[in-house]
Amino acid sequence: MARPRILVVGGGFAGVECVRRLERRIPAGAAEIALVAPFSYQLYLPLLPQVASGVLTPQSIAVSLRRSQKHRTRIIPGGAIGVDAKAKVCVIRKITGEIVNERYDKIVLTPGSITRTFDIPGLAENARGMKTLAEAAYIRDHVISQLDLADASRDEEERASRLQFVVVGGGYAGTETAACLQRLTTNALTHYPRLDPKLIKWHLIDIAPKLMPELGDELGHDAMDMLEKRGIEVSLGVSIAEAGPDMVTFTDGRKLPCRTLIWTAGVAASPLVATLEAETVRGRLAVTPEMTVPGYDGVFALGDAAAVPDLVKGGDAVCPPTAQHAMRQGRKAADNVIATLLGRPLQQYRHRDLGLVVDLGGKDAVSRPLGLQLKGISAQVVARGYHWSALRTNVAKTRVLTNWTLNAVAGDDFVRTGFQSQKPATLRDFEYTDAYLTPQQVREHTAALSVKV
């Protein structure tokens, strides 16, 4: 009898946790486990702003998939671009560009999310994201290059536009990105004596009425107070009306000379979701509390791409797209996959939030572990302690701790690597949003290409 094939799509928090659990709980030889991942690492996304600001090196938060697994899982280097649930085939584009079909008996969809955008003139061409390691590396080079170019320029208008920076999105990603990069440009001033500190200005804007509303009023106010004391201008109830290469227009009518627009205004489910033609909830796959996709045999979905019901809150509430939920969903989904193989009942996902941590750089932070509200140094200790403990390998933990120590002792550096200087820097280019097939194309590929057996 052939061994059942379990295919996990996505090497993020949910996918990696699912594979780790499957490896631990399925006896060797009892099933084939495969993981589809475009990169050979799991990106520890919460620390991405610290890579953009140079506090951490990119390799520090790229946690090796091969170190974190037991080598029983076959890792397919590529990205899933379509799923034919009827034929039980996943269409994969390998990193070589070759398109192959992968058969499965059970599939766990954890393709994650992409940056959510809107139909704003100039946004697609001029905004930069903070969702991938390449984007963080690009933004770091770009911000430092603006300082270099402003320092060399004799044109006051050019200098002013290069020293204005706009971050859109008052959630965790946007707030931490603005805070970490503002700290970088402030510390850089001693190396740029020609630049007027008053000209360097960071703007954090969000259409919502509150900054990081999940924190609650008190901690949200504390975070905003920390940012404003450092000179970051926070504008709420405001978004972008138009984005140009050297000018940004706000929805309140303000026009700001600016050559750096960082867009972190939320996430949307991976386009892979649309290839199933299944029911969605605000763009995420509708799933049961057991994380199965109704009407699709052997299909599980979780993480950012799935609207997993939040049984603790009840009603129509779904779990937010956070790493904390994704990791725990991954473990529960693995248990349910095993339960289907053994003919046992499935378990519902239920989890209470353990709290929130926000690292604003240096001594600034706010945290709410288990309901306890902290700010300043104590919050920073909790935030960094949580992130450090969540890293899955000792190599990653050592690198991160070493980087933090080095930055605290030696300070920042202001070197442009140039690795991404010739690469198109749009959201589409970095996040490969054009890579996916239509449902019709998926069916054509599963019919035309030979299925691997």
- Residues 131-139: what's their mean pLDDT? 93
| 56-72 residues labelled b (16+ CB within 10 A) or e (exposed) | bbbebbbbebeebbeee
Reported confidence tier of residue 452, pLDDT bands at 50, 70, 90? very low
pLDDT at 266: 85
CA-to-CA distance for 101 and 88, rounded, in angstroms? 10
Strands 62-64 and 74-84: unpaired
Instruction: Evaluate the CA torsion angle 109, 114, 116, 122 in order and state its sign.
Output: negative
Place of tokens 């590929």: 445
CATH of 5-115+268-353+432-447, one of 3.40.30.10, 3.50.50.60, 3.40.640.10, 3.40.50.720: 3.50.50.60
- Provide the 10 A C-beta neighbour count for residue 105: 18
Per-residue pLDDT of 77-124, as tens digits, reads 999 999 999 999 999 999 999 999 999 999 999 999 999 989 999 999
pLDDT at 416: 87
**pLDDT score of 336 more than 70:** yes
| Close Cβ partners of 60 (under 8 Å, ≥ 6 residues apart) | 47, 51, 396, 399, 400, 403
Residue percentage of the chain with pLDDT more than 90: 83
Per-residue pLDDT of 357-370, as tens digits, reads 999 998 999 999 88
Reported confidence tier of residue 430, pLDDT bands at 50, 70, 90? confident
In terms of C-beta distances under 8 Å and separation of at least 24 residues, what long-range contacts does 297-301 make, across chains too?
297/85, 297/88, 298/88, 298/104, 298/105, 298/106, 298/107, 298/340, 299/83, 299/85, 299/107, 299/109, 300/106, 300/107, 300/108, 300/109, 300/333, 300/336, 300/337, 301/108, 301/109, 301/110, 301/273
Place of tokens 């605290």: 408
Residue ranges per domain, the chain?
A: 5-115+268-353+432-447, 123-265+412-416
User: Which one-letter amino acid corresponds to residue 321?
Assistant: P
Question: Topology of domain 123-265+412-416, per CATH?
Answer: FAD/NAD(P)-binding domain (3.50.50)
**In the chain, what are the helix, strand and coil shares in percent, each to the nearest 5?**
40, 25, 40
| Least confident span in 80-84, 180-184, 436-440, 442-446 | 442-446
**pLDDT score of 449 more than 90:** no
- Across all residues in the chain, what is the average pLDDT? 93
Q: What is the dihedral of CA 446, 88, 311, 169, to 10 degrees?
A: -20
Task: Tell me if 5-115+268-353+432-447 shares its fold with 123-265+412-416.
Answer: yes
Reported confidence tier of residue 453, pLDDT bands at 50, 70, 90? very low
**Rg (Cα) of the chain, in Å, rounded?**
23
pLDDT at 424: 65
pLDDT at 448: 67
CA-to-CA distance for 204 and 238, rounded, in angstroms? 10
| 360-374 residues labelled b (16+ CB within 10 A) or e (exposed) | bbbebbbbbbeeeeb
Reported confidence tier of residue 353, pLDDT bands at 50, 70, 90? confident
Cα–Cα separations (whole angstroms), residue 266 to 94, 169, 275? 28, 7, 22
**pLDDT score of 394 more than 90:** yes
